[in-house]
Chains A and B, each alone.
Chain A
Amino acid sequence: MRGRATRFVYDPALAGFELAPDHPFKPLRFELTRTLLMATGLLGEADLVTARPMDDDLLLAVHDERYVAAVKSAATADASGRRAALAAYGLGSSDNPLFDGMHETIARVCAATVTAVDLVATGEALRATNFAGGLHHAMRDRASGFCIYNDLAVAIRRAVDHHGLRVAYVDLDAHHGDGVQWLFYDDPAVLTISLHESGRYLFPGTGNTYETGKDRGRGTAVNVPLEPFTEDESFLECFETIVPRALAWFSPDLIVLQAGADMHRFDPLADLWLSLDGMGRSYRRMVELADEYADGRLVVTGGGGYDPYQTVPRAWARAWVELTGTRLPDALPAEWRDEWGLRLGVDLPETSHEDPSTWPPAPRRDAITSRNRSVVERLVPTLEKIWNDSAVKGRA
């Protein structure tokens, strides 16, 4: 009998570090989310699971050995002598600075995502989260976009190789999920789907509709580039047009959702204009789609999200309540706001919801909606043709 529970993988070390002072990627978001959920009573001690230990074999199934050695040496490196060598691996830039214990810390993030996959794959839990994970830009031999190791790829590799599962990866982060896509681009056991702001201007620049996988994995990459300033309704329309079809074709055993929270209107690093409610509706649909196509098996990670105090904790708390079929109270607990407000010197939100009706409408809303619609309407027949011809056969 399989457990019906949802588990929250937790380890204090996952939130207790900084890439650099003032770095926009703030691991503390994870702790803000956990404490918010605990203060509301929607998350209890019994829901928490400690991350398993990490071994290098899991990392090396995805990452290049020399790269891992470089990361291990980075924190102890003689700064002047090894700088150029490390820069070749993308290490030591303003995006990916060197910091003490970087290997151990990010390896632990990977271990936490592997733990979430193990819980769901073995049936100990139906769903599991690691909101400290979601480092989707890291490449085989290169740090990129705040990501040193690709915990998602490590965990997906584990699901495929160790548990023998077919995995569908859905990436809702505002940035294209390039690292995961390229790591599984020719792999018929892994479908990657990414909805993101168009890479015409935004990092990393990839994620065009014509990136559809190659060789034995032809048809197993799906990309939906969206216009800057896309709002809830257009985002959800594109989601509904593409994601259920792709999952129905592929018929996964497990779905991994990267729930980066930077598609929100107030995120300072990207230009999508979703509200918390739009994000929450997409999370709910992912739960429903996992029920429909993967026997419910769903692993959820964090990802981007650079409005760390107002937006990210509320977005991920919303993801948790969608996974557990509960509801956030309208008023957020005063003790949570007071404690963190005092410690961080920032205002934390008073309510779980927003009032988007007070926001000025997006410029060119109709043009954006129609452009997004035409992108997905052209994408569907293209994908269906590739899927029909593809060597990869869904079991549906």
Chain B
Amino acid sequence: MLVSDVMTRKVVAIGPDTPIRDVQALMEQRNIRHFPILQTRSSSEPDALIGIVSDRDVRLVGADHPRAPAGVTSADPISKLMVYPVLTAHPEDPIEETAKVLRENKIGAMPVMDEGRLVGIVTGIDMLDALVRMSGVYEAASRLEVEVANRPGALAELLRHVASRNVNVSSVMTTRGDPDTVSFILRVSTVDGHGLARYLRSQGFSVPWPPIPSTGQAAQGRGSADSDHVSADPVGGSDAKA
């Protein structure tokens, strides 16, 4: 997923001479938190990005607040408040890279520039939306956590076992515990997350979630149904039937 997949294309940009009070009004009316500031150049060149302001900078003007900008009034031009140089993104930047830049610099948004031209803006909320989409949470699924050794091929092997059950994977997320293990969070499109977990455990995987279901009377009650789930030949399952 790239910045161009998640950015807002209709950017409201303003000129450096815009009075701060006009920006305040625009911010409230349009519900916008970040304004790139563009300087017009000759007609053959695109407007230059010379700064950016956020809603916090603008709201503090004239406020009785220790961090209010000294000597600035709402009649002043926005150029008195703007921050520069501006960190920018490119439409083809991967979103994880963009998210990292936003967090490392503790900023809420970046203008997106392509060949010197402002083509969009990308915000922290866009990153969160992208993460939600990438997690596969909008698809009906069971969620499994599987711990594997941190070595080449471990994920491939896990997914090969999942595939052998003819279960579709809607997303894989990775978290790291100690340096020797990796936890994968799988979202799989099956109701029988327990059945898949049982199978993976039988193949030697560590599956911290879902929990092992209640046993006891159930073992007798479930009879053949239960043994079905741990049948020795998973490949002979649905493929052969269908």
Contact = CB atoms under 8 A, between A and B. Distances in A.
A97 B238 contact: yes
A93 B238 contact: yes
Interface residues of A, number: 52
Given A265-B214, A268-B226, A201 B192 contact: no
A169 interface: no
A92 B229 CA distance: 18
A204 B141 contact: yes
A268 B168 contact: no
Nearest to A90: B189
7 contacts: A21-B241, A92-B238, A93-B168, A204-B191, A266-B216, A269-B195, A310-B218
A92 B188 CA distance: 15
Interface stretch (A7-15, A40-48, A301-309): A301-309
Given A268-B194, A268-B225, A137 B140 contact: yes
A95 interface: yes
Interface of A: 20-22, 24, 26, 79, 87, 90, 92-95, 97-99, 137, 144-146, 175, 178, 200-206, 228, 265-271, 273, 304, 306-311, 344-347, 349, 354, 359-360
Interface stretch (B69-77, B104-112, B116-124, B205-213): B205-213
Contact of B228 (A22, A90, A137): A22
Given A204-B191, A205-B143, A271-B211, 5 more contacts: A22-B228, A93-B189, A269-B191, A306-B225, A349-B221
A94 B225 contact: no
A268 B195 contact: yes
A20 B211 CA distance: 26
Contact of A203 (B142, B214, B242): B142
A28 to B, nearest CB: 11
Interface in B45-67: none
B165 interface: yes
Given A269-B195, A271-B213, A201 B225 contact: no
Contact of B193 (A203, A273, A360): A203
B143 A146 contact: no
Given A93-B238, A97-B238, A273 B143 contact: no
Nearest to B190: A95
Contacts of B137: 205
B177 interface: no
A20 B192 CA distance: 14
B140 A266 contact: no
B237 A22 contact: yes
Contact of A95 (B191, B210, B221, B231): B191
A95 B143 contact: no
The 4 closest A-B pairs by CB, nearest first: A310-B221, A204-B140, A266-B218, A346-B223
Interface residues of B, number: 41
Contact of A268 (B166, B187, B224, B229): B229
B160 interface: no
A265 B218 contact: yes
Nearest to B137: A205
B217 to A, nearest CB: 6
B192 A269 contact: yes
Contacts of B218: 265-266, 268, 307, 310
A266 B241 contact: no
A203 B140 CA distance: 6
B232 to A, nearest CB: 12
Contact of A94 (B140, B142, B237): B237
Contacts of B229: 22, 24, 268
B201 interface: no
Nearest to B167: A94
A79 B242 contact: yes
Interface string B191-203: 1111100000000
B140 A205 contact: yes
B241 A97 contact: yes
Interface string B156-179: 000000000111100000000000
A201 B193 contact: yes
Contacts of B195: 24, 268-269
B135 to A, nearest CB: 10
A95 B189 contact: yes
Contact of A266 (B168, B189, B210, B222): B222
Nearest to A174: B191
B220 interface: yes
A204 B189 CA distance: 8
Given A97-B242, A202-B142, A309 B190 contact: no
